[in-house]
Structure 1
Amino acid sequence: MKLKKIMSAILAAAMLTATMAACGGDGNSSAAPSSSTDGNSATNTSAPAESGSGVSAEDLSTQEEYTVKIMYFGDAKTEDTNEVAAKLSELTKAKYNTVIEMVRVGFGSYKDQANLALNSGEKLDVISSFGFVPATMMSQNQILPLNDYLDQYAPDTKAAISDLDWQCVTINGNITGVPYNIEKASSIGLLMVKDVVDAMGIDWESIKTLKDAEPIFEKVKAEHPEMYMLIADFGDIRRPLCIDPLGDENFGVLEDPLTDREDLKVVNLFETASYVDWINTMYDFNQKGYMQPDAASSTESANSLLGAGKAFSFITNIKPGIEAEWVRNCGKEVYIAPLVEEYSTSANIGLRWCIANNSEKPERAMQVINEMYMNPDFSNIFIYGIEGKHWKFVDEEQGVVGYADGVEAGSTGYSNLAWGAANEQISYVFEGDDPDLWKRLGEFNANAPASIAKGFVWDNADVINEVTSCTNVLNKYVKALQSGALNPETDLAKFNQELRDAGLDTIIQDKQSKLDAWMAENK
């Protein structure tokens, strides 16, 4: 079909882009797009030179049969997930003599179940880092470095991803996972339900900061007392702040990361003026009844609250196609007012597919990750499920799909999350999205200004005990502070003191010294 030809052409261009980025830059100026960031890639065009057992590229299907178990997130029925795994196995069995087993876990319990699987020694091969700090996963020996496997078992994937993106997932020389090919920049906005905004004649575009929403909340609350003005997602509220977390940790950040300067000072996020101003605003909103009650302990998703008509607004990430994604998620059209313009840091290359340390055959897991990243047939099944049961073509020529007849978002047995796949940009576009969505996403990634510290990834191994202790303190305070449930005038100081007692200053000193060394080497 026409789509396949387009995908093949763009893959060649994307591979060239990645090669040029690797040869021409030091990874410290603007962000280089990874494979397919300006479009779709095509099929898996080459195989590894040989397998670990001496099997040549031409007869990988004669390897000993092995089952690769994949764990990732999203709502799905077990029987549907098993059916999708069987369909994927048709591809991998023919090519690698590999059977796919899959487990999907709901967002609210994914991290706990994944942790249990990683720490118990149960059968597990491929896992998403969603909800985890990969540096901690590596220091706790939960995942394997991929250095020894990429060249031999996933050369296409390695070549398709830019050197800068690989740098952003490398800790102390160890490649921790294959980065998702999704949005690679941060932009934050206030999402509002469109029908309420339109009916009340609200000037939503006037919102430039979160404080600007107060008169709107007051107006909407008076008209719709049944709605929460601002909600959390499983207890989490996104921070509308422009900072570089210098990795994936909350402990020690770089303020004003887009201003080029030599002195990069690591500071405590929770004492910065921007953070204090934000949580004071959230506390004020809570006192005025604008916040979802018990937001910090909520086990409900933003999707369900918005879809049920219980919520007016939510702080969300922004990317091309995000409005259509929310329509699919909650059935509501939305407006989104930008609060933070797009920019990129190493943390934006955060989600990755990892090989579990308890994988019996990591090389076979790597072959499957290569299929996930490079093979559109694999990706489309992985994302959308079974054609005719979960999805159907809406416009095959343009590569646009929708739910199968009689299926809706709330009734499907296999929810589709394109962003949860290794490389959404080789997949079909879902109905309601722009057919040029992947091109627009590539431009978004390429054009976002980069932090002056992009490429630095902090290795927390030297202070892992302090990180664990500070994380316990964080879990005690941060959701309640950020939902406005605690008074910053009294509780913020307690929070920061307990962080210091748990070793925050040691963490910041460690991060500062490693950032200084990285700057000396790379600037």
Structure 2
Amino acid sequence: MKKKWLAILLSITTVMAGLTGCGNSGQGGENAAESKASEAAASGTETGESTAAPAEGELVNVIWQWPAMGATGSGFQAVEDALNAMLEKDIGVHVTLEPALFSDLQNQSTLTITSGEQLDIILQVGTGVTPYVANGLIQPVDEYVEEYGAAIKEKCGTQLLGGYYQGKLYGIPTAYIDGESYGYMARKDILEKYNIEIDPDKLYTLDEVEKIFETVKAGEGDKFFMNIPETTSANMLHNAYCEVDTLGNTPAAGVLMLNRSFTDLTLYNLFETEEYEAYAQKMYEYAQKGYVSSDAATNTEDAN
């Protein structure tokens, strides 16, 4: 019965990348995970799950791992409450979001499952699914998407192909947008104080952003410094200074310089380009003008 509810939840979210079972065994380590996976295959159930259907009116609780950069803040609970206001009424499911550090997602999910704790949905980011599949930590979702996921197939289209591994579908890609966006976060009260209007449809250049910094710095003095969100710092160049394609998570293997041409297939060392030199010079100027905190290189405080 629980499979059905997880499948329905899958079909209305389209943001998770793996489906896991709920372990009840006290065993730990990879062998325990493999053992539980084998037992599940033999019995025709999910890893460690009970086959008993929930009582009439009883909510099915789904534990959903969620990546966090640090402290989640009060808004995190508000998101969970808003989800459950819909899910409990519509499909009888209560979702519990479990924050896990973004940099440690794989370790967190592996430890949780192998220790026997319940974990139903994980968000796999930054690593392939190979270790999850090899250790029996996730299961394919082909049959559930076929039965309940018409909306997933329509929304994802060819992007769904990215969720396959060895011929089986293990993940649902994020398909709410066909691109990435990065930028600076600004306090609304500060913008209003200096009558700064931000056009949400405009891509601002670094020179235009600097004019905003200059205005606020003049009024706020040492109380102001810019703060690039953690997910932004490595990608600011790509979106605000010049367009490149990293062909992966990092520019380590070379990049396509899309700002020069969309037909040039030459791989460039990003850090040897004139564009990167200009970007580095701009960041140096920011620091000299006091737009960057003097302890930015050593400050471990969360961006929020």
Q: Place the TM-score, normalised by the shorter chain, in its bin.
A: 0.5 to 0.7
Match of 2:161 in 1: 167
Alignment length, in residue pairs? 233
Match of 2:123 among 105, 118, 128: 128
CA distance in 2, matches of 1:165, 1:270: 31
Cα pair 2:65 2:123 within 8 Å, conserved: yes
The answer on 1:301 being equivalent to 2:303 is yes
Match of 2:249 in 1: 248
CA distance in 2, matches of 1:277, 1:63: 63
**Could you say what the CA RMSD is over the residues aligned between the two structures, in angstroms?**
4.6
Question: What displacement does 1:70 show?
Answer: 1.5
CA distance in 2, matches of 1:125, 1:101: 10
Question: What displacement does 1:145 show?
Answer: 6.7
Cα pair 1:70 1:102 within 8 Å, conserved: yes
The answer on 1:184 being equivalent to 2:178 is yes
CA distance in 1, matches of 2:292, 2:166: 42
What do the CA deviations read for 1:438-492 (whole angstroms, capped 9, x no partner)? xxxxxxxxxxxxxxxxxxxxxxxxxxxxxxxxxxxxxxxxxxxxxxxxxxxxxxx
CA distance in 2, matches of 1:203, 1:267: 37
Structure 1 segments unaligned to the other structure (5+ residues): 1-34, 36-51, 55-61, 94-98, 303-523
CA distance in 1, matches of 2:84, 2:104: 19
Match of 1:239 in 2: 236
CA distance in 1, matches of 2:83, 2:155: 27
**DSSP-derived class of the 2:98 partner:** strand
**Cα 1:144/1:280, change in 2 over 3 Å:** farther
Specify the code of the residue in structure 2 equivalent to 1:211. Answer: D
**DSSP-derived class of the 1:179 partner:** coil
CA distance in 1, matches of 2:166, 2:255: 20
The 5 Å alignment of 1:46-61 reads: none
Match of 1:71 in 2: 65
**Cα 1:267/1:139, change in 2 over 3 Å:** farther
The 5 Å alignment of 1:401-420 reads: none
Question: What displacement does 1:166 show?
Answer: 1.6
Question: What displacement does 1:289 show?
Answer: 1.4
CA distance in 1, matches of 2:258, 2:94: 42
Question: What displacement does 1:186 show?
Answer: 3.4
The answer on 1:220 being equivalent to 2:216 is yes
Specify the code of the residue in structure 2 equivalent to 1:300. Answer: D
Question: What displacement does 1:126 show?
Answer: 0.4
Cα pair 2:84 2:94 within 8 Å, conserved: yes
**Cα 1:235/1:64, change in 2 over 3 Å:** closer
Question: What displacement does 1:278 show?
Answer: 1.7
CA distance in 2, matches of 1:92, 1:84: 12
CA distance in 2, matches of 1:187, 1:86: 29
What do the CA deviations read for 1:83-134 (whole angstroms, capped 9, x no partner)? 97698456545xxxxx6451332xxx532564343221243220224xx21x
The 5 Å alignment of 1:11-160 reads: 64-65=53-54, 68-73=62-67, 74-75=72-73, 88=87, 91-93=90-92, 100=94, 102-105=96-99, 110-111=101-102, 114-120=105-111, 121-122=114-115, 123-129=118-124, 132-133=125-126, 136-141=127-132, 144=138, 146=140, 148-160=142-154
Structure 2 segments unaligned to the other structure (5+ residues): 1-13, 15-40, 45-50, 55-59
**Highest relative contact order (Cα 8 Å, sep 6+), 1 or 2?**
1
Q: Percent identity?
A: 21
Question: What displacement does 1:230 show?
Answer: 1.5
Match of 1:274 in 2: 275
**Cα 1:63/1:289, change in 2 over 3 Å:** same
**Cα 1:254/1:101, change in 2 over 3 Å:** same
**Cα 1:191/1:125, change in 2 over 3 Å:** closer
Cα pair 1:188 1:240 within 8 Å, conserved: no
What do the CA deviations read for 1:248-287 (whole angstroms, capped 9, x no partner)? 34433532348443x6234444444333322331122113
TM-score by length of 1: 0.36
**Cα 1:192/1:88, change in 2 over 3 Å:** closer
**Cα 1:256/1:112, change in 2 over 3 Å:** closer
Match of 1:461 in 2: none
Specify the code of the residue in structure 2 equivalent to 1:126. Answer: I
CA distance in 2, matches of 1:212, 1:86: 42
CA distance in 2, matches of 1:184, 1:273: 28
**DSSP-derived class of the 2:119 partner:** coil
CA distance in 2, matches of 1:197, 1:85: 34
Question: What displacement does 1:291 show?
Answer: 0.8
**Cα 1:260/1:232, change in 2 over 3 Å:** closer
Match of 2:265 in 1: 264
**DSSP-derived class of the 1:290 partner:** coil
Higher strand fraction (1 or 2) = 1
